Amino acid sequence: MPTPSYDFRNRTAVVTGAGGGMGEAITLALAKAGAAVTAIDVKACPDSLKAAGAAVQYAQGDLRDAGFVEKAIRAAYDRHGRLDYLANVAGVLWFGRDKSLLETELSVWDEVMEINLKSMVLTSRAATPLLRKTGGGAMVHVSTIQWMRGDPQPQDAYQASKAAVCAMSRSLAMQLAADGIRSNSICPGPTLTPLQARWNTEQIRGQVADYVPLKRIGTADDMANAALFLLSDGASYITGIDLVVDGGLLLRV
Ligand SMILES: NC(=O)c1ccc[n+]([C@@H]2O[C@H](COP(=O)([O-])OP(=O)(O)OC[C@H]3O[C@@H](n4cnc5c(N)ncnc54)[C@H](O)[C@@H]3O)[C@@H](O)[C@H]2O)c1
């Protein structure tokens, strides 16, 4: 599928969750468009990002660690003397352990909130003064369509944390608009990444695809396309939105 082209030369970005499906795709797409990217994940650096050379600096660490986050984002700014973009992508969906709030272990609830929501608070707090110093910029935060509807098999910590991601994004959009900093969220539908390792047969993937009006499962590149558009100057009049990228799945509800 042809992908749109963007010019991100002389811009710098921080992308979290870069060791996973969407974060890796967003990092590679930004680097291909000319940006210098600091890619953060708790996992080791994927080969694809090593192959990107000097365009990608990898910072391995836990986004729950405020000191690590502050240092990694500060280093991104210091390397280039500017920071233009923050893509908050990292997140977890714990099948089996994250259930109805009436029965989930509260330690699981707290951990999901810390990874999915507080980590984005930490990165946003670290990045905002640097985006201001640069003279403006943009953020995208990855949520999900899942929080907008009920589920017979609930994962309430996930749902609540992702609803909060959209609320956080809108509040940042309002607070930072006067500084020329935009903030938007992306709400993906089903997307084939390591997070969805449970879709491990052609038959299962076929069933999921069949349920989607556009008749396919989303790809990490679909989400990268959305992220690059929202970060780009082409979206310079867009802030505070939740962009649904789900092949039409919400239409079914
Ligand atoms: N795949 C889907 O169907 C889908 C649908 C809707 C929303 N999402 C959201 O999209 C985002 C990206 O997910 P993905 O599908 O690429 O999943 P993924 O599991 O491939 O990637 C997520 C990455 O986040 C990293 N991460 C998790 N906790 C971390 C921590 N504490 N510190 C640093 N890194 C950490 C993981 O190591 C992993 O590499 C997530 O926020 C997810 O909730 C995914």
Closest to 167 measured CA to CA, from 192, 190, 197, 147: 147
CA 191 to chain centre: 13
Q: Is 21 in the pocket of ligand 1 (CB under 6 A)?
A: yes
Q: How high is the pLDDT of residue 150?
A: 85
Q: Is 46 in the pocket of ligand 1 (CB under 6 A)?
A: no
Indicate if the pLDDT at residue 210 is higher than 80.
Answer: yes
**How many whole angstroms separate alpha carbon 68 and alpha carbon 60?**
9
Q: Which atom of ligand 1 is nearest to the CA of 114?
A: 31
What's the CATH fold of domain 12-189+220-244?
Rossmann fold (3.40.50)
As beta bridge partners, residue 140 has: 87, 184
Indicate if the pLDDT at residue 1 is higher than 90.
Answer: no
Q: How high is the pLDDT of residue 2?
A: 65
| Active site members | 158
Q: What distance in angstroms lies between residue 178's CA and the mean position of ligand 1's atoms?
A: 31
pLDDT single digits (tens) 146-158:
999 888 899 999 9
**How many whole angstroms separate alpha carbon 157 and alpha carbon 140?**
21
Mean pLDDT of the chain: 96
If you average pLDDT over residues 188-193, what whole number do you get?
A: 96
pLDDT band at 3 (very low <50, low <70, confident <90, very high): confident
